[in-house]
């Protein structure tokens, strides 16, 4: 995590049940969605405590009360599971600090929603994977997240972003953007359009299996990138899954697939030299090993069989989203240069094509570790 310089103290701090006297407030983290601060308090006996304070982004998450209901339900459940196995509930899951009125959030004079957590000490979130062990540990953590929540009542969760991984809906939005062609860009991306349309049947695969019950609806994180894991500073072990804003009903194979899409690629997401873009089978195997160890038998046989397809579908979906945003004028994903969303789409499509070629090996790797 990145810690910034001292800043103006948010007025909302006094509305939460923090212990002691405020001694420090600094911007914290590398996220681009919520405004985050790290607070330091000192109690009367000289002890210090640290907390995280966040202003929730209502442009992205339009129903913050429902979002916090999700987070409170999930973290309460995780604490029970962690306590049952003798773990450290303060370090192995996020802990919400209530406002003085007892709610898990409060609003300021501008109508903005805020929340607070205990700060987890002795652990760090990293933006990049530096070793096989890092990737393995993130896989174990996300697999363990699946296992501990395997019997959570998913019907009680709200959809914080409706249709988030509905690939059929993503394809429909792409076709709409293509028909409207509001920026006059469609003519210049004919090969990419053809790539997407040729694979339209692919968009139904996981959605249809979820609808039929072949794939169970589970509690899913939906943002399984490496920096949403806290790594213990001393042991190098992953101890906690963070950033629970997108936790909602979904498919385990999508959580697995998004990690592969990002973590097992040999190139940056906006790499222009597509000859550098492929899926690293070694890193794929590292992640499969860790994820299945973390799941510890929680997945069904059908889920195991569809893990490779989850990687392909999440990559394809990301490519569709990047291309759709390019056609619509780059209004959703931030860009730092002209054509960046098109570059991103092209890398995702190259990864899809590479995974399609490697699908037999991907399946064999899953089968090997599933038998252990």
At 82, which CATH number?
A: 3.30.200.20
Same domain, 112 and 144: no
Residue 76 near residue 138, CB atoms below 8 Å:
no
Rounded to 10°, the helix 167-180/205-212 angle is 140
Residue 142, in any domain of the structure = yes
Domain that holds residue 92: 11-121
188 in a structural domain: yes
Percent of the chain with pLDDT over 70: 97
Q: Is residue 149 part of a domain?
A: yes
Grouping H, G, I as helix, E, B as strand and the rest as coil, residue 215 is coil
- Whole-prediction pTM value? 0.90
Residues 35-45: tens digit of each pLDDT: 899 999 998 88
Q: Do 203 and 256 reside in the same domain of the chain?
A: yes
Per-residue confidence band for 335, with pLDDT thresholds at 50, 70 and 90? confident
Residue 197 lies in a domain: yes
Span 217-232, pLDDT tens digits: 999 999 998 889 999 9
The reply to whether 238 falls in a domain is: yes
Same domain? 136 vs 116: no
**2 found inside a domain:** no
Which among 137, 91, 82 is positioned nearest to 293, based on CA atoms?
137
Those residues with Cβ within 8 angstroms of residue 225's Cβ, 6 or more apart along the chain or in another chain: 258, 259, 262, 263
CATH number of domain containing 199: 3.90.1200.10
Q: How many domains does the chain have?
A: 2
**Residue 179 CB contacts under 8 Å (≥ 6 apart), including other chains:** none
Banded model confidence at residue 128, pLDDT cuts 50, 70, 90: confident
pLDDT at 331: 86
Which of 87, 121, 155 finishes a domain?
121
In this predicted model, what pLDDT tens digit does every residue of 51-100 receive, in sequence order?
999 999 898 889 999 999 999 999 999 999 999 999 999 999 999 999 99
């Amino acid at each position: 995590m990145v810690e910034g310089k001292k800043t103006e103290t948010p007025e909302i701090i006094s509305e939460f049940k923090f212990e002691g006297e405020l001694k420090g407030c600094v911007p914290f983290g590398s996220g681009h969605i919520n405004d985050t601060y790290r607070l330091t308090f000192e109690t009367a006996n000289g002890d210090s405590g640290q907390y995280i304070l966040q202003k929730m982004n209502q442009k992205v998450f339009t129903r913050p009360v429902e979002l916090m209901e999700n987070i409170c339900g999930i973290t309460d459940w995780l604490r029970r599971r962690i306590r049952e196995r003798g773990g450290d509930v303060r370090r192995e899951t996020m802990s919400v600090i209530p406002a003085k009125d007892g709610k898990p959030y409060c609003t300021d004079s501008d109508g903005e929603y805020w929340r607070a957590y205990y700060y987890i000490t002795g652990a760090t979130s990293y933006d990049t994977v530096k070793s096989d062990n890092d990737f393995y540990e993130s896989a174990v953590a996300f697999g363990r997240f699946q296992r501990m929540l395997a019997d959570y009542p998913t019907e009680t969760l709200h959809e914080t972003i409706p249709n988030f991984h509905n690939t059929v809906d993503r394809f429909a939005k792409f076709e709409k953007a293509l028909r409207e062609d509001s920026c006059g860009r469609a003519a210049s991306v004919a090969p990419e359009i053809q790539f997407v349309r040729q694979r339209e049947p692919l968009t139904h695969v996981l959605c249809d299996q979820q609808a039929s019950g072949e794939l169970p609806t589970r509690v899913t994180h939906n943002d399984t990138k490496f920096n949403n894991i806290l790594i213990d500073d001393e042991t190098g072990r992953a101890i906690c899954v963070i950033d629970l804003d997108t936790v909602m009903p979904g498919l385990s194979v999508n959580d697995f697939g998004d990690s592969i899409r990002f973590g097992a690629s040999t190139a940056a997401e906006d790499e222009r030299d597509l000859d550098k873009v492929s899926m690293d089978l070694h890193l794929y195997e590292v992640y499969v090993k860790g994820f299945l160890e973390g799941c510890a038998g929680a997945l069904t046989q059908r889920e195991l069989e569809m893990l490779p397809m989850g990687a392909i579908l999440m990559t394809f979906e990301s490519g569709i989203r990047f291309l759709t945003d390019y056609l619509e004028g780059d209004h959703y994903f931030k860009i730092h240069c002209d054509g960046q969303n098109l570059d991103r789409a092209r890398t995702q499509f190259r990864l899809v094509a590479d995974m399609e070629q490697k699908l037999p090996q991907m399946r064999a790797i899953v089968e090997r570790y599933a038998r252990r």
